[in-house]
Structure 1
Amino acid sequence: MIDDEMREQVLDRFIEALAAQAEVAEGRMLAPGAVAALADLARAEARLIFGAAGHRVHHDAETEPIARLIKLISDA
């Protein structure tokens, strides 16, 4: 069974990976498949992702890629 701390760590890593991928993508945009996957998020799902990403932006030093990711997801 996965505990809450491990879930948070996994979510943090996925956010970091997606932000890094968006950084190297042409035009610093999300791939169409990523946009499609994020387009129909339920409110609770969006709150979870934005909460975790926002926490990273608030507490980490290297935040520009994650801040850009938040904007890209918001615009999706």
Structure 2
Amino acid sequence: MSPAKKKTSAAPLTGAALVKEVSRRIRAARVLWDAHQNSACRGERQKAMELYETLTPEERKKVPQVLRLWLRYRSEKYFGDHR
């Protein structure tokens, strides 16, 4: 039996789907953070940041503010470049 293969999407996410995926990844990172799984949280946060940086300013406003704050400020203290 061969290992499971990851599905690759044919087209990159855009618009509302991208905003939804960014929000999902930030929420997943927060759950891992609350469970004290810091290395897993770091990976999920990094993926969320990479997607977040592709958003336009209008799309960024659609991400809930509490998630934006956690991603940019609070988590930067623990996962910033200085770490």
TM range (shorter): 0.3 to 0.5
Could you say which structure has the greater relative contact order, defined with CA pairs below 8 angstroms and 6 or more residues apart? 1
More helix by share: 1
Q: Which has the larger radius of gyration?
A: 2
What TM-score do you get using the length of structure 2 for normalisation? 0.42
What TM-score do you get using the length of structure 1 for normalisation? 0.44
